[in-house]
Amino acid sequence: MEHQAVLRHSFLGGGVWFSLRPRVLSFVRSRFLRKHSTSVKNRPKISTLCLLNESRAKVIYSVAPAMGHNKEAHPECNSRVPAIVSALEKMELTPKFRGSEIIQLQDFRIATVEDIASVHSRSYVFGLEKAMEQASEQGFIHIDGSGPTYATATTYQESLIAAGAGLSLVDHVVAESKISQSPPIGFALIRPPGHHAVPKGPMGFCVFGNVAIAARYAQRVHGLKRVFIIDFDVHHGNGTNDAFYDDPDIFFLSTHQEGSYPGTGKIDNLGCGIGEGATLNLPLAGGSGDIAMRTVFDEVIVPSAQRFKPDIILVSAGYDGHVLDPLANFQFTTGTYYMLASNIKQLATDLCGGRCVFFLEGGYNLEFLSNSVADSFRAFIGEPSMAAKLDDLGYLYDEPSIKVKQAIQKIKHLHSL
């Protein structure tokens, strides 16, 4: 491994640590490469030919399914990313059918400890690596009880791969934006998800904060000082919130279901110190749906982004707000996610040279997770939504319009929008 650090105390509250065995690391690498034909590098490597191909691309995506990170009957399972990939193939939204319009990134790096430590404490990072021995012996372990968040023998390495897949998309989108006014939208189809992971540890199914790590990477490596993060997962992205709560250069905006896990993200949580005002939390009443989100986008997200003037937009794309998702109580439809993808793409075009990368977060009904991601791809390439054929609107009921209006009015007052 890249370090020889010895951890004295575990993030699990004590215990004896052992080094990650070489055969475990070898297994993760070989299994990942064999299954996905992806050469993994430690540093970005962008060829002229790749850029020329991407100059015609509208979407570039990476796939890191973490097949070894799995627990039976757990909603955050290893079927999620393969279900999306299968849907993209079935709906002819892959390079096989679209040529250079849609590109799958086949050459991406593994995130380094330094990348992860830009957001998370080194004691947590090293502690998770050491815990892989225990996970290997037991099959899986719980590393956070509130989710609950689990780990298997491959979790550490596959989490580095997931984070690296996102960082590589940032590299490619930024490089393309230097030679094209219409760079492709990036989409990291990765797991484990990240927006609940706090600086000191895992939480809520999340291991490393993929979006937060990418934000720091965009600043450090590409000089993109002002990063605008949109989190439309149904649950509050408390980890991302905490990582940048006092930072005026990273604007974190979260819409989420009021009262849902993890119970954070109150409307008056605005940031602190010099970062006050650069955090916007908008909890919405259960039952909020397409009408609510369209209004929020126009009246809250757009003016916030316009005033902030970002250099890049990153998106925590959680699809668990779908009306048929089992873990929450919003009424989003496939069409809602098409609208969000289309509007965010336009926002990036208008404000930051089209630089925008989506990161998969939640979404636990595999059929509608897959359909909604596929419709996001359609939005990116400018094709009509298939929502009318995919959604049964008979499940919908009246939205809590008065509560939504009151929340929007309050957030506009708090942030002077």
Supply the residues annotated as catalytic: 196
Question: Residue 139 gets which letter from DSSP?
Answer: S
Phi, psi (rounded to 5 degrees) for 61:
-130, 155
Residues counted in the chain: 417
Start-to-end Cα distance in the chain: 49
How far, in whole angstroms, is CA 374 from its chain's centroid? 16
CA 167/CA 64 separation, integer angstroms: 12
The conformation of residue 19, written as its DSSP 8-state character, comes to P
**Which helix (DSSP H) or strand (DSSP E) does residue 203 occupy?**
none
Q: Distance (Å, rounded) from C-alpha 312 to C-alpha 46?
A: 19
Reading the block at residue 349, the tokens are: 């075009």
Tokens of 414: 């708090």
The Cα–Cα gap between 366 and 82 comes to: 10
User: Residue 167: how many CB atoms within 10 A of its CB?
Assistant: 25
Cβ 298 vs Cβ 339: under 8 Å: no
Q: Write down the residue that tokens 């998969």 correspond to.
A: 360
| Contacts of residue 9, Cβ cutoff 8 Å, sequence gap at least 6 | 123
List, in sequence order, every residue forming a beta bridge with 314; answer none if it has no partner. Answer: 229, 357
Which letter does DSSP use for residue 263 in this model?
-
**CB of 293 within 8 A of CB of 332?**
yes
Is the CB of residue 245 less than 8 Å from the CB of residue 376? no
Encoded tokens for 12: 């699990």
Token pair listed for 313: 């937009």
DSSP assignments along 309-322, one per residue: --SEEEEEE--TTB
The token pair that represents 181 in the structure block: 């006014």
